[in-house]
Amino acid sequence: MYEFLKKQDEEVFDAIEGEEKRQAEGLELIPSENYVSRAVKEAMASSLTNKYSEGYPGKRYYGGQEFTDKVERFAQERAKQLFGAGFANVQPLGGANANIGAYFGLLEPGDTVLGMELSHGGHLTHGHPVTYIAKIFNFVRYGMKDVETGEIDYDALEATAKKERPKIVLAGFSAYPRELDWKRIADIAHGVGAVAMADVAHIAGLIAGGSQKNPFDYGFDVMTTTTHKTLRGPRGGMILVREREDLAKAIDKAIFPGLQGGPHMHQIAAKAVAFKEALAPSFKDYAQQVVANAAAMAEVFKESDVRMITGGTSNHLILADVFGSLGMSGGEAEKLLDEAGITLNKNAIADDTRKPMDPSGIRFGTPAITTRGFSEDDSREVARLMLEVLKTKDAAAAREKIRALAEKHPIPNSFA
């Protein structure tokens, strides 16, 4: 591979080769990362990257759109089939773009959004004050009633909704290890005349594979998502609307021309390929195994008396309080494990007293190792190796064991 790149730009070639070696010899546990198939990579590297396609299928501003229209329609139809949606916009360049596009389509400046508190598992794009979007719209927040069990304070959520009268009630997360009560949230939203919107970026693949509930089945109006993470596609975003054509039209207009210019057609082609992969029966097995592997890792941490936010996991990720349990910061843990060949990320925990760049917790999950064929026993072994490194602070001793595990489960080129 990369024969032309190697001849033309050896520096970039070397960096890519180094990254491929790092991924092959180590274990990726960042919950928002995964591996794509060779087919998805080929679509990403196709001649579609040469083509401008401003607009939507059948309504483009440039000529020469016969094949781009086909590709985008493939992606739209497959996405709708995966999630039971009436409408799909597959043009967002990422999850943040998808959320912002949905806001622009559904809100006017100054309108209120009720979303999850960042420190309780939400996401920056759900209205954190550091984001520009928080200068445009008014964000109010809800969170967990009990950090140890992960129970959301639904009564407080409902009271806030009745007081603030938001235009959107937003459910979804980036660091919450449990399932939400989608019906309760949808009922609260509709009770105050709000749109029920779910950001399922982390669990989209689990929803598509049937191991997590689909918010559309419980009355949600809009879903936003990334197309990587558990969905195992290229880096990108997507917005789905259950049935309301008025919302779909407003969101389409907000994405283009409101937010983005020409869509990245090579990326959309790769999304279409990934969606077809996710429609295969084997993807359901994958989604089930992701959750089973995460539960197996949580068992090991529980047996070792390491505190986990919400007490464990019901999905693909775990949030562990290493500062409270092991006396080291999340940043120290991330660095140590990186040296051992295990990649995860430091993460704030609920009511964290430490700074965001060196918080109390670590966040890790199983989408990528499950793609490599890891079983529950393999996942327990990974958890034990993690704890060995963290308790002894000796990365070198575990490095060869981790490399051997990685070599036992090479990164696949296809998922058939």
Q: How far is CA 398 from the centre of its chain?
A: 29
Side chain identity, residue 236: G
Please report the DSSP string for 303-337 in residue order.
Answer: HTT--BGGGS-SSSEEEEEHHHHHS--HHHHHHHH
Tell how strand 168-172 and strand 195-199 pair up.
parallel
Residue 199 annotated among the catalytic residues of the structure? yes
CA–CA gap between residue 48 and residue 124 (Å, rounded): 32
Which of the residues 17, 33, 52, 181 is marked catalytic? 52
Residue 52 annotated among the catalytic residues of the structure? yes
Side chain identity, residue 57: P
Q: Label residue 135 exposed, middle or buried (CB < 10 Å: 0-12, 13-18, 19+).
A: exposed
Side chain identity, residue 338: D
Residue 179 annotated among the catalytic residues of the structure? no
Please report the DSSP string for 50-69 in residue order.
Answer: G----EETTEESSS--HHHH
**Prior bond to 31 cis, omega within 30?**
no
Residue 226 annotated among the catalytic residues of the structure? yes
Which of the residues 183, 235, 244, 354 is marked catalytic? 235
For residues 229 and 206, the answer to whether their CB atoms sit within 8 Å is: no
Q: Which residues pair with 238 in a beta bridge?
A: 225
Tell how strand 361-365 and strand 345-347 pair up.
antiparallel
Phi and psi, residue 251, nearest 5°: -70, -40
Tell how strand 361-365 and strand 317-321 pair up.
antiparallel
For residues 208 and 282, the answer to whether their CB atoms sit within 8 Å is: no
- Listed residue (334, 339, 411, 404) closest to 370, CA to CA: 411
CA–CA gap between residue 173 and residue 143 (Å, rounded): 11
How many CB atoms lie under 10 A from the CB of residue 24? Answer: 13
Which of the residues 68, 125, 225, 226 is marked catalytic? 226
Which of the residues 199, 221, 332, 378 is marked catalytic? 199
Which of the residues 17, 25, 33, 54 is marked catalytic? 54
CA–CA gap between residue 59 and residue 44 (Å, rounded): 23
Task: Provide the token pair at 86.
Answer: 């009436």
CA–CA gap between residue 191 and residue 172 (Å, rounded): 19
CA–CA gap between residue 382 and residue 190 (Å, rounded): 44
Which of the residues 229, 232, 242, 380 is marked catalytic? 229
Q: Write out the catalytic residue numbers.
A: 52, 54, 199, 226, 229, 235
